[in-house]
A and B are shown apart, each in its own frame.
Chain A
Amino acid sequence: MNALVRLFSRPWIWSWGAAFVIWFATIMVTGGASTLGLTQAALTFAAFSIIVGLGQMFVITLGPGNIDLSVPATMTLAGTVALKFMNVENGMILPGLAVAVLIGVAVGIGNYALIKALRIPPIIATLSMSFIVQSAAIWTNRGLRIKPPSFLADFTTSATLGVPNLALVALALSLLSWLVLEKTVYGRWISAIGQSMPAARMAGIPVDGVRFITYVFCAVLAALAGYLLACFSGGAALNMGSEYLLMSIAVVVIGGTAVAGGDSNVPGIWGASLFMFLVVSMLNTYGLGAGIRLIMTGLIIISVILLAGGRKPGAR
């Protein structure tokens, strides 16, 4: 009984519950015929939101006002450049990955440099940065659609023991993030900064260093997601990241991470990402359009934030 109460006090249980209900409802309509297919599709597509959501979660944990709007542009640039660099050769897979990660690092450095040097809120700094990154992506893309190396294309679209490889990658990254947040000194520091920046500074935490690393980490995860998404969809497209701007924030909020900062939640990201995909497929199954889905998503985000409430005065 007590364990049950404790279980329900976990913020992530709600997103998992919702995802399961919708999964079940969709299965019921199709009479159980598509159970495996639906589950696999959900895991595959959720993997991308999970990876970008993890990065965004780190940033949002830093406290009110911290948000990274350069995620979609970084995804696009990393995907485009990496594919171009690999040039359909299997031997170049690892160097291509390194290039994607380097792009993430560069964008992250740029983001924090703007935040710090111009003393502007992260939202406008990452926004200006994303304009430049997006342009760089358009410039390198040139409308060419380069295919991913065959091995990578196979890897991203197939499954191991019935579990999509992409979901396995997302799982590995999630475990890593969870470890970092829960077990390391750095994880403690992020949470402390998110709860109170002045208190963190007075407790001797190197505030700027931690925030810097966090923005870089978020950009690297976005770059990684872009790399995988480009390989999965058989080539990079200029608008491939756009969906993930709002998605990355939405899965963090729905997943139970505190918007006011300081409290992050890795399992919640999974629940929320699966949920977001399953809502789409359920509404498709029921023959309802994108409009209803969008409205529902919005209402869910608002109800979550209303229920969670604003914790700190002065939080935006």
Chain B
Amino acid sequence: MIRRSPADFIRLLIPALSLAVLLAAVFWLQPRAMSYVGINLLFNLAVPIALATVAQMFIMAVNDLDLSMGTFVSFVACVTATFLRDAPLVGVVILAGSVLVYAALGVVIHLRNLPSIVVTLGMSFVWAGLAVLLLPAPGGQAPDWVRALMTMKPPLVPIAIVAAVVIAVVAHVIVMRLSLGVLIRGVGGNERSVERAGWSIVAARAAAYGLAGLFAVLAGIALVGLTTSADANIALRYTLLSIAGVILGGGEFIGGRISPVGAVIGALTLTLAGSFLSFLRISPDWQIGAQGAILILVLALRLVFNRVEKRGHGR
């Protein structure tokens, strides 16, 4: 089994605990949710969010931030519901090209030393424009294989859970087990010394952005598989959700401290929080607000925890 250092373990403990508590509360409020169908319903929408969160995590690993995640996932959804179904080859080329665009963004941001927030803000207009050009009105249709994949009914465990586990494992292997993941996190942690050890920082950043593009593409495809059709605004919330998911999962804005498993758990927690609030009969008016409050609460908890930890270390 993977040996983990205590700090990493505790870093995962808070998100895992909050997910468990939230899940217990949902089951208590709505015992019928404790079934194959119920769990699938609860977590269905978590799959694309988890993928987008992992994508955002790669960007945050190198101390950047992607404000175009939502519009990019929407764009991918539009491509999936049109080209990928009608002309699969063209669709694949477009999606592969957009992953390359992401990698190129990483290169430009690094070479010109640009603020990632503004560059991705600009890109968010571009992706939104392309999406509107593809699908001016809601429409399109999911390719059958995507639909089939997302509505699969494996025995015992719902597809949403299987998918979440697969995403977490794949992301974990890339980020924590491969040398490339170590390099990407190293750039976030201490760029200078990584450079001094003879690595190319540009390549590392390009790889981080490229991987982010790849996972965001998967998020868009998965989303269309669930909704069957697409529109240009389908995933606008994903920008904020993905950032919040990384943070909830124990990631940090700077220093390359990220946790792929945590990010997936964070995405699940965010999805569940919505259902929980509606089961609580909290008026839908306050649902967004409650999400904000949860975010603040988790950040406050983390601050307290870090303080305690630091005091333990103050030797």
Contacts and interface: CB of A to CB of B under 8 A. Distances in A.
Contact of B124 (A120, A298, A305): A298
A135 interface: yes
Given A119-B303, A123-B65, A130-B292, A305 B122 contact: yes
Nearest to B286: A135
A310 B113 contact: yes
B128 A135 contact: no
Interface stretch (A17-25, A88-96, A158-166, A284-292): A284-292
A298 B119 CA distance: 9
Interface in B247-295: 247, 253, 283-293, 295
A21 B204 CA distance: 42
B308 interface: no
A121 B117 CA distance: 12
Nearest to B299: A118
Interface in B102-119: 108, 112-119
B270 to A, nearest CB: 12
Interface in A110-164: 114, 117-121, 123-124, 127-136, 138-139, 142
A74 to B, nearest CB: 13
A305 B121 CA distance: 11
B37 interface: no
A293 B129 contact: yes
A228 to B, nearest CB: 24
Interface residues of B, number: 47
A54 interface: no
A57 interface: no
A139 B118 contact: no
Interface string B119-143: 1011111111111110010000000
A137 to B, nearest CB: 9
B231 interface: no
- From B118, B288, B290, residue with most partner A Cβ within 10 Å: B118
B115 A260 contact: yes
A289 B121 CA distance: 21
A316 B292 contact: no
Contacts of A309: 112-114
B112 A299 contact: no
Contacts of B202: none
Contacts of A296: 129
Interface string A288-316: 01111111111111100110011011011
Nearest to A139: B285
A316 B286 CA distance: 33
Contacts of A117: 300
Given A246-B121, A306-B112, A316 B63 contact: yes
Contacts of A294: 125-126, 128-129, 132
B125 A298 contact: yes
A135 B289 CA distance: 5
B13 interface: no
A312 B114 CA distance: 9
Contacts of B244: 124, 127
B117 to A, nearest CB: 6
A120 B251 CA distance: 12
A291 B126 contact: no
Interface in B40-72: 63-65
Nearest to B108: A306
B50 to A, nearest CB: 19
A132 B285 CA distance: 10
B243 interface: yes
Contacts of B299: 118, 120, 124, 128
Contacts of B284: 138
A167 interface: no
B240 interface: yes
A302 B108 CA distance: 11
B121 A131 contact: no
A290 B285 contact: no
Contacts of A136: 289
A253 interface: yes
B296 interface: yes
A301 B122 contact: yes
A316 B125 contact: no
A64 interface: yes
A133 B118 CA distance: 24
A67 interface: yes
B114 A306 contact: yes
Given A135-B288, A135-B289, A135-B292, A295 B122 contact: no
B123 A139 contact: no
A133 B284 CA distance: 14
B115 A127 contact: no
A259 interface: yes
A118 B296 contact: yes
A291 B133 contact: yes
Contacts of B112: 306, 309-310
A297 B127 CA distance: 11
15 contacts: A117-B300, A118-B296, A118-B299, A124-B295, A128-B292, A138-B286, A253-B121, A290-B132, A291-B130, A294-B125, A295-B129, A297-B125, A297-B129, A310-B113, A316-B64
Given A292-B129, A295-B130, A309-B112, 9 more contacts: A124-B247, A124-B295, A128-B296, A131-B292, A290-B136, A291-B131, A295-B126, A296-B129, A310-B113
Closest CB pairs A-B (n = 7): A135-B289, A131-B292, A298-B125, A294-B129, A295-B129, A310-B113, A301-B122
